[in-house]
Amino acid sequence: MKKKTVAPKSPPLALSLTRMSAFQWRLDLPPGASMPMRAEAVVFGGPEIADRLDPQTLTQLYNVACMPGLAGRVCAMPDAHSGYGFPIGGVAAFRPKDGVISAGGVGFDMACGVRTHLTDLAAEDITPRLAELAEALYAAVPSGVGSSAGPSGPQSLHDALAEGAAYAVRAGHGSEEDLLRIEERGTLRDADPAQVSAEALKRGRGQLGTLGSGNHYLEVQEVEEVLDEKLADGFGLRRGRVVVSIHCGSRGLGHQVATDFVARMNAQAPEHGLVLADRNLACAPIGSELGQAYFGAMQAAANFAMANRQIIGQRVRNVVQGLFRRVGAMPLLWDVSHNTCKVEEHMVDGRSMRLWVHRKGATRAFPPGHPSLPPELAPHGQPIPVGGSMGTASYVLAGIPGALALSWGSACHGAGRLMSRGQARAGFKGKDVVSSLRSRGIVVRSGSLSGVAEEAPGAYKDIEAVIRATTGAGLAAAVARLRPLCCVKG
Active site residues: 413
Is residue 397 a contact partner of residue 411, using CB atoms and an 8 Å limit?
A: yes
Q: How far is Cα 44 from Cα 78, in angstroms, rounded to an integer?
A: 5
Strand ranges for 132-226 from DSSP E: 217-226
DSSP label at residue 367: P
Q: Which of 459, 460, 445, 358 is nearest to 414 (CA)?
A: 460
Q: At 12, which amino acid appears?
A: P
Label residue 431 left, alpha or beta by phi (over 0 means left) and psi (-120 to 50 means alpha).
alpha
Paired with 482 in beta bridges are 223, 394
CB atoms within 10 A of CB 336: 25
Q: How far is CA 1 from the centre of its chain?
A: 33
List the strands of the sheet with 15-21, edge to edge. 3-6, 15-21, 24-28, 41-44, 74-81, 88-94, 351-360, 339-348
Q: Which of 186, 487, 180 is nearest to 308 (CA)?
A: 186
Q: At 219, which amino acid appears?
A: E
The backbone torsions φ and ψ at residue 263, rounded to the nearest 5 degrees and listed phi first, read -65, -45
Q: What are the Cα distances from residue 140, in Å, to 153, 318, 488?
A: 20, 9, 11
Element (H, E) at 471: helix 463-472
Is residue 90 a contact partner of residue 64, using CB atoms and an 8 Å limit?
A: yes
Element (H, E) at 82: none
Q: How far is Cα 241 from Cα 267, in angstroms, rounded to an integer?
A: 52
Q: At 181, which amino acid appears?
A: R
Q: Which of 482, 481, 234, 247 is nearest to 381 (CA)?
A: 234
Q: How far is Cα 323 from Cα 131, in angstroms, rounded to an integer?
A: 12
Pairing of strands 443-446, 363-364: unpaired
Q: How far is CA 195 from the centre of its chain?
A: 23
Q: What are the Cα distances from residue 1, in Å, to 5, 17, 210, 372?
A: 13, 10, 49, 39
